[in-house]
Structure 1
Amino acid sequence: MNEGLRGKLTLVSAQAGFGKTTLVAEWAAGCGRPVAWLSLDEGDNDPVRFLHYLVAALRTVATNIGEGVFSMLRSPQMPPTESIVSALINDISAVRSSFVLVLDDYHSIDAGPVDHAITLLIERMPPQVHLIITARQDPALPLARLRVRDQLSEIRSDDLRFTADEAAQFLNESMSLQLSDTEVSLLETRTEGWIAGLQLAALSLRNHANAAAYLHSFAGNHPYVLDYLIEEVLQQQPDHVQTFLLRTSVLERLSGPLCDTIIGREETCGQRTLEQLERMNLFLIPLDSERQWYRYHHLFAEALRQRLKRDSSSGEEAEVHLRASEWYEENGFELDAFRHAAAAEDVARAARLLEGNGVPLLFRGSVGPVLKWLATLPAATLNATPSLWVTYASALLFAAGPTDVEPKLQAAEAILQSRDPDEEIRDLIGHISTIRATIAVSRHQADEIVAQSLRALDYLRPNNLPIRTATTWSLGYAYQLRGERAAAGEAYTEAIAISRAIGHYIIHIMALIGLGNVQEDDNQLSLAEETYRGVLRLAGEPPIPVACEALLGLARISYERNDHDAAEEQARHALRLARLIENTDRFVACQLFQARMMLARGDLSGAQATIVEAGHTARLHRFVLQLPSIAAVQAETLLRQGKEDEARAAVGSYELPLSQARVSLALGDASAALAALEPFIDQAEAKGWANERLKATILRSLAFQASGDKKSALRQLGEALAMAEPGGFVRSFVDEGMPMAKLLLEAADRGQSPDYVAKLLTAFEAENGGKPGVLWETIRPFVEPLSERELEVLRLIAQGLSNEEISKRLYLALSSVKGHNQNIFGKLQVRRRTEAVARARELGLLQ
C-alpha cells in the first residue's frame, strides 16, 4: 500500500469477505495523509448522486472543493462529464497537501457515465492525489494503460488470503479460541484463507463445546459455507440481537437513532447495540471516526435480507422500510425517504415525497432514481394515482427532452376527466399545461407557450411555487419571442423574486438571463451587465453551461463599448460552454458573434468560414430561429467584399429591414434604403424596441446623407446620438464605416454632442491605426484625386467586370486599363480589386 503511493491508483480487487475495506481502513489510519472516503452502493449509479457524494467526500479534505460542481449538478440536464470533472480537477489542484481518495465497493457501479468520470479523473489527476479503489472485480477503467505506465499498484485475493500461521493467530488470539494446529489447518483449508469464512466459523465455534466434531461436520457436509455459517451465527445470538440484525439489514447505512426507529422497542438502544456488534466482530464496518454511522459487510447484509424475506410476515419488511422512510424524512434525507417508501411499495407516500420540501426531487438532481421507480410501476398503479403520470412526464422531459412525454400527459388527462375538479385535480391539470409550455419553449412556439402557461397559472394552486415559477419564466420567454419586452421583463422579475425565495436555482439563473436580454435590448447596457454578472456569480466556477448566454451578453456589451480584448475572451468562454449544451442553438449564436468580430478586424475570410459553419449547424439541427441572423451577418460580409448582388440575395427571403437598407445603400439606392427603414422605425417606436430603433435611426441618417439631404442626415444623427450616449454605444456607429465618420465630422463642426462625438471619432481613429489626424487625412480630398477616367474604371470594377471587359466597354487598350488600376490602387492605398471597392465605399466614392 505504501509503495502504491508513487503511482496514480491502487486497486484492491478480491471477492467478498477477503478484508479489502478493513485493509484500506487500517492503512489509511496510519498513512499520514488526509483521506477522503466514499463507500458506494447501487444507488450511486445515478451520476448526479455519485458526483454529489464524491464532492462531499473530497470536501472533508478541503472545504473549498466542488462549489462549482454543486452548481452544475443542480441543472435539470446534467452538463457533460468532461466539464464537471475539469471543474473538480481545478479545485483539487488548488489543494497544496497530498491526500488519498478511497472509492470503496466500486463493484456496485455499473454505470458508464460514472466509469467515464473516474477515468477522466485518473487521467488528469494532480500529483498530490492518490486514488484507492476496492472492488470484487476489476472495474471498467483503463487498467492496462496504467500498468504500462507503471501507475497502477494491485492487491488481489492471493495477497489477502490468510496463511495457516495467520489463521492460527486470528483464531486463537483475536477470537480467543484454543484450537490445535490440526484444527486450524482444517479450518484454513476449508475456507481457503477466506477471512469472512474464518470469522463466521470462529463466531460459531464459541458456542460449541466439541470443536473437533463441529469442524468435522463443517468441513465435510456443507458445500454452501456462507449460508451455513450465517445461520450458525444468527442462531447463536439472543432474540433481540437477531431481530436487530434482520430488521436493520434493509439499511445501506446505520446510525443509532435510525436503528431505534427501525426496531421500535424502548429496551433496545441502537447506538449501544451497534457498538456491541462492532466489539463482537459481527461484520459491522464504521464509516466515520466518531462511530456515528456504520454499514454491514455486504455479504452479511445480503444474507440477512434474504433471511428477512424468508422468515418475516408479509407486512414486516414493508413496515421496516416505512419506518426508515419516516426517519429519513424527519431528518431531511428526502431522497433516502423516497427510496424506502418505494421499497415498501407505498405508492402514495413515495409520490408525496417526490414533491419534495418546497422543491420537487426532480429539480434537485434525482431524475435517475425517480425514473427507475416509475418504470417499474404497472399502468394500473399509475392510473390509480394520475399525479404519477404527470411526474413521469416531467422526469422524462428532464432526462431526455420532449420524447415520449405527451403519451404520459394524455394518460393522466384520461383519468382526470372522470374525476371531480377539486383543488388537487386542478393543480395536476395546471402542471400538465406547464409541461406542455416547457416543450413549446424548446420549440420556440411563442403562442403555444402563452396559451399553455396562462392555463397553467389559472389552474395551479397559489402555493405551488416551484411549478408556478417555472411557468412564469416560460411566459416571460414567450413574451420575449413576440417582442413584448415590458411584459417579458415583468415576468422575469417575478420569476427571479420567487425562485430566489424558494431556492429554485435553475429558474433563478434562466430568469436572470432573460431579464439581462430584455435590458440589453432596451439599451440599458449597464443594467444588463450587472444582471449577467449576477448569473455568473450564481453559476459557479467554472459556470454551468447555460451561463454561456450571460457570457455572450457580456461579450456583446464589451464589443459595443469597443473593448475588443474583453469581448473576445468572453466570447471564447461562451462558445466553450455552448458546445456542452445539447439540442440548443446557443452554439450558433456564439459563432455568429465571433463572425461579427472577425468583420471588425477585417478578417473577411475567417468571418465567411465561420458563417458557413454556423449555417451548416443550423440547418442540420433545424435551428430555424437562427437563419435570419445568419443571413444578416452573411450579407454584411458580402458587402465588405463588394458583392452587392449576392448580399441582396442572402437577405431576400427574410424580413431584415436593416440588412435590406444596407444593401440598398451599397447599390447607391438611398430611396430604397429609406423605404425599407421608415415602416420599421415606426414599428420599433410603437413597440418600444429601443435597440432596433437606434440601429435604424443610424442607418436612416446615412441614407439621408447618401441622398444629399445633409440637414436631415444630421438631424437623424442627433437623435441616434441622444439614444446611444447614455449606454456608451460605440460600435453601432463605427461599424458603419467611413460614411458615418464623415457625418460625425460634420456633426463635430456644428458642435453636436461634442464630448460623445469626439469619443466616437477617436474610435474611428483607432480603426485607422490610432495616429492623431489619420481619420481627417483619410476623409479629406486626396492630394492627387482620382481622375474622371479612374472613377469610371473604379465603378466598373465595383460591378465585377474584368480588365478585358472594361477594355471593351471603354474602348481602351488592355494595358491602359491595367495602368488605371495601378493608379487607383496607389491612390486608395490598397493592393487588390476587392479592397479598392471596399475602400471606395468607405470614402463615399461609389454612392
Structure 2
Amino acid sequence: MPETAFSLRAEMLLNVGCAYLESGRIAQAHSTLTEALRLSRTGQQKRAEIFASYFLGKVSLAQGRLQQAFMQYQEGLHSHSDVPIAGVLHVGIAEIDYERNDLESAKRHLQDALHAGEQGGEIKPLVYANIALGSLLTPQEAVQRLEYATSLTSWTLLYAWQALWWLRAGHTSMASYWLEDTRAHEAQLSEFERLVQARILLVLERCEDAALVLDSLQANALESQRHGDVIRILLLQAQRKKTQGKWDEALQCVAQAVERGEREGYIRTFLDEGEPIYQLCRHLANQHPENRYLQQIVQQFMKIVLQPVLLPFGETLSQREVEVLQLLAEGASNQEIAGKLFLTTGTVKWHVHNIFGKLDAKNRTQAVNKARGSGLLGKVQREVKRM
C-alpha cells in the first residue's frame, strides 16, 4: 500500500474513532483507533500515530483505567517527544496527574503542552491545554482561557466547556442560554454535552429533568462499560437525590462511586463536586472508618477547604491573592507571576491592585513589608504550602 494510502486511511479511522468516542461507543472507538494506530505506525505517520495514542488514552480514561491511559501517553511521548503535536500527550498526562491530585506535575505538563503548541504553531495542544487549565484556575480565569481557545478553533464542544465554567463562576443565566440552545439539536449532543446539561439542570433545581438526562447517561455508560464516566454520573445522581431529600439513596450513589474509584485512585472527581459530596463522603467515612480510600478522599477534601487569610485590618485575602502575595515577596514580576499561575498580566495587575488596597500599601515593597511586619507573610507561606 502506498504511503499516502496509509496516511489517508489512518486519518479517516481517526475521525471515525473520535466520533465513536464522543458518542460514548467505547468498544467501537477502541477497535477503530487501534487500527488507526497500527496503520499510522506502518506508514510512519507520526502525527496520526500521536493522535491515535492520545485518543486511545481517552478511551482508557472513559473506561476508568487511569494507569493504562498514563502508560499510553508515556509511550507516545517516549517515541515522539520532539514533535510539537505531541503536546497533546502532555495534556493527557496532566489530566491523569490532576485526577490523582498531583497538581504540580499537572501544571508542568500543561506548560510543556503550551510551549509545544506555541513553538510549533500547533492549535490542538493549545486548545486542549487551555481546557485542562480551567481545573487549576478560578472559574473566572477558566472562562478567559476558553475565550482564547474559541478564538483558535470553531470546535463546538468548547461552548459546552464555556457553559460549565460559567456555571461554576456563578453565571447561571449564561449557562442557561447554552442549555436552551441545545434543545434544537438534542439528538446530536455528545455525552459530555449531555453531562453539562445535567449539571445546569441541577443548579436550576430542575431535578426531574436532570434525572431524565442522568438516568439515560448512566444506563449508556454502564452498558458500554465506561466506568470512569459512571463515577461522575453517580456523584451527580447523589447531588440530585440529596436535593430531593433522598439522603439514603444519595449515600448509596456515593458509596458506589467510591467502590468504582478505589482501584485506580480517583480523587479530584470527588473533590471537584464540592460541599454536597464532601458531606456525603464524610458521613460514609464515619460509618466505615476501615475504608482507607474513603478516609483519604475526606482528608483531601479537608485540605482544599482553604480559609481566607484574615488581615489585621478586618479584610481577607482570597486564595488567589495569597498565591500572588507569596510571589510578590519572592520578587516575581507581573509577567513571571502570570506565567506561574497561568493568568494574563492584566489579571495579575488586578490582583496586585486588590492586595495593595487591602494592605493599605502604595507599592510592592510596602505591601511585602507590611505583610512581614504584621506576621502575615509567614501565615501566607503556610497557606501556600497547604495548597
Counterpart position of 1:534: 75
Question: Structure 2 matches for 1:580-599, cutoff 5 A?
Answer: 580=119, 584-598=123-137
State the alpha-carbon separation in 1 of the partners of residues 8 and 196 from structure 2: 41
Q: 1:614 to 1:507 in 2, by over 3 A?
A: closer
What's the CA shift for 1:764?
Answer: 0.6
State the alpha-carbon separation in 2 of the partners of residues 502 and 604 from structure 1: 43
Other structure's SS at 1:576 match: helix
For the pair 1:630 / 2:169, whether they are aligned, the reply is no
Counterpart position of 1:608: 143
What's the CA shift for 1:762?
Answer: 1.1
Query: Is residue 139–residue 168 contact of structure 2 (8 Å, CA) maintained in 1?
Result: no
What's the CA shift for 1:468?
Answer: 5.2
Other structure's SS at 1:635 match: helix
Question: Structure 2 matches for 1:5-20, cutoff 5 A?
Answer: none
Counterpart position of 2:94: 555
What's the CA shift for 1:650?
Answer: 3.7
In our comparison, the structure showing a higher alpha carbon Rg is 1
What's the CA shift for 1:563?
Answer: 0.7
What's the CA shift for 1:531?
Answer: 0.5
State the alpha-carbon separation in 2 of the partners of residues 581 and 660 from structure 1: 35
State the alpha-carbon separation in 1 of the partners of residues 58 and 195 from structure 2: 20
Per-residue CA deviations over 1:302-356 (Å, capped at 9, x if unaligned) read xxxxxxxxxxxxxxxxxxxxxxxxxxxxxxxxxxxxxxxxxxxxxxxxxxxxxxx
Q: 1:669 to 1:749 in 2, by over 3 A?
A: farther
State the alpha-carbon separation in 2 of the partners of residues 518 and 530 from structure 1: 13
Counterpart position of 1:354: none
For the pair 1:676 / 2:213, whether they are aligned, the reply is yes
Question: Structure 2 matches for 1:438-453, cutoff 5 A?
Answer: none
What's the CA shift for 1:511?
Answer: 2.2
Aligned residue type for 2:145 = T
Q: 1:466 to 1:768 in 2, by over 3 A?
A: closer
Q: 1:665 to 1:628 in 2, by over 3 A?
A: closer
State the alpha-carbon separation in 2 of the partners of residues 745 and 477 from structure 1: 38
State the alpha-carbon separation in 2 of the partners of residues 467 and 605 from structure 1: 41
For the pair 1:691 / 2:232, whether they are aligned, the reply is no
State the alpha-carbon separation in 2 of the partners of residues 477 and 607 from structure 1: 25
Query: Is residue 635–residue 659 contact of structure 1 (8 Å, CA) maintained in 2?
Result: no
State the alpha-carbon separation in 2 of the partners of residues 482 and 702 from structure 1: 24
Q: How many pairs are equivalent?
A: 298
Per-residue CA deviations over 1:500-522 (Å, capped at 9, x if unaligned) read 45645444333222211211221
State the alpha-carbon separation in 2 of the partners of residues 571 and 583 from structure 1: 14
Query: Is residue 85–residue 122 contact of structure 2 (8 Å, CA) maintained in 1?
Result: no
Give 1 or 2: higher helix fraction.
Answer: 2
Counterpart among 734, 741, 744 of residue 271 in structure 2: 734
Report runs of 4+ in structure 1 exceeding 6 Å deviation. none
For the pair 1:544 / 2:83, whether they are aligned, the reply is yes
Q: 1:754 to 1:484 in 2, by over 3 A?
A: same
Runs of 5+ consecutive residues of structure 2 not aligned to the other structure? 183-188, 308-387
Structure with more contact order per residue of length (Cα contacts < 8 Å, sep ≥ 6): 2
Q: 1:592 to 1:731 in 2, by over 3 A?
A: same
Q: 1:651 to 1:581 in 2, by over 3 A?
A: farther
Counterpart among 34, 56, 64 of residue 523 in structure 1: 64
Other structure's SS at 1:726 match: coil
State the alpha-carbon separation in 2 of the partners of residues 666 and 471 from structure 1: 39
Per-residue CA deviations over 1:197-229 (Å, capped at 9, x if unaligned) read xxxxxxxxxxxxxxxxxxxxxxxxxxxxxxxxx
Aligned residue type for 1:719 = Q
Query: Is residue 9–residue 39 contact of structure 2 (8 Å, CA) maintained in 1?
Result: no
Counterpart position of 1:744: 281
Aligned residue type for 1:733 = F
Q: 1:560 to 1:653 in 2, by over 3 A?
A: same
Q: 1:651 to 1:580 in 2, by over 3 A?
A: farther
Question: Structure 2 matches for 1:269-308, cutoff 5 A?
Answer: none
State the alpha-carbon separation in 2 of the partners of residues 625 and 660 from structure 1: 13
Other structure's SS at 1:708 match: coil
Per-residue CA deviations over 1:464-500 (Å, capped at 9, x if unaligned) read x666555544543443344322122123333434554
Aligned residue type for 1:608 = V
Other structure's SS at 2:228 match: helix
State the alpha-carbon separation in 2 of the partners of residues 478 and 647 from structure 1: 25
What's the CA shift for 1:686?
Answer: 3.2
State the alpha-carbon separation in 1 of the partners of residues 122 and 97 from structure 2: 28
State the alpha-carbon separation in 2 of the partners of residues 551 and 472 from structure 1: 23
What's the CA shift for 1:610?
Answer: 2.1
For the pair 1:512 / 2:53, whether they are aligned, the reply is yes
Query: Is residue 636–residue 647 contact of structure 1 (8 Å, CA) maintained in 2?
Result: no
Q: 1:658 to 1:478 in 2, by over 3 A?
A: closer
What's the CA shift for 1:534?
Answer: 0.7
What's the CA shift for 1:535?
Answer: 0.9
TM-score (normalizing by structure 2): 0.68
Counterpart among 273, 278, 297 of residue 760 in structure 1: 297
What's the CA shift for 1:740?
Answer: 0.8
Query: Is residue 529–residue 554 contact of structure 1 (8 Å, CA) maintained in 2?
Result: yes
Q: 1:698 to 1:545 in 2, by over 3 A?
A: same
Q: 1:665 to 1:511 in 2, by over 3 A?
A: closer
Q: 1:627 to 1:573 in 2, by over 3 A?
A: same
What's the CA shift for 1:726?
Answer: 1.7
What's the CA shift for 1:527?
Answer: 0.4
State the alpha-carbon separation in 2 of the partners of residues 684 and 737 from structure 1: 23
**What value does the CA root-mean-square deviation take over the aligned residues?**
2.8
State the alpha-carbon separation in 2 of the partners of residues 614 and 501 from structure 1: 33
Counterpart position of 1:384: none
Q: 1:652 to 1:589 in 2, by over 3 A?
A: farther
Counterpart position of 2:256: 719
Q: 1:667 to 1:740 in 2, by over 3 A?
A: same
Aligned residue type for 2:174 = E
What's the CA shift for 1:745?
Answer: 1.2
Query: Is residue 648–residue 663 contact of structure 1 (8 Å, CA) maintained in 2?
Result: yes
Query: Is residue 472–residue 492 contact of structure 1 (8 Å, CA) maintained in 2?
Result: yes
For the pair 1:483 / 2:24, whether they are aligned, the reply is yes
Question: Structure 2 matches for 1:219-618, cutoff 5 A?
Answer: 360=3, 431=5, 472-497=13-38, 499-500=40-41, 503-540=44-81, 543-580=82-119, 584-598=123-137, 603-615=138-150, 617=151
Counterpart position of 1:322: none
Aligned residue type for 1:699 = L
State the alpha-carbon separation in 2 of the partners of residues 537 and 659 from structure 1: 35
Per-residue CA deviations over 1:816-838 (Å, capped at 9, x if unaligned) read xxxxxxxxxxxxxxxxxxxxxxx
Query: Is residue 214–residue 233 contact of structure 2 (8 Å, CA) maintained in 1?
Result: yes
Q: 1:675 to 1:505 in 2, by over 3 A?
A: closer
Query: Is residue 730–residue 760 contact of structure 1 (8 Å, CA) maintained in 2?
Result: yes
Aligned residue type for 1:533 = Q
Question: Structure 2 matches for 1:62-81, cutoff 5 A?
Answer: none
For the pair 1:644 / 2:172, whether they are aligned, the reply is yes
State the alpha-carbon separation in 2 of the partners of residues 477 and 671 from structure 1: 31
Aligned residue type for 1:717 = V
What's the CA shift for 1:359?
Answer: 6.6
State the alpha-carbon separation in 2 of the partners of residues 717 and 752 from structure 1: 16
What's the CA shift for 1:699?
Answer: 0.6
Other structure's SS at 1:736 match: coil
Aligned residue type for 1:628 = A
Aligned residue type for 1:659 = V
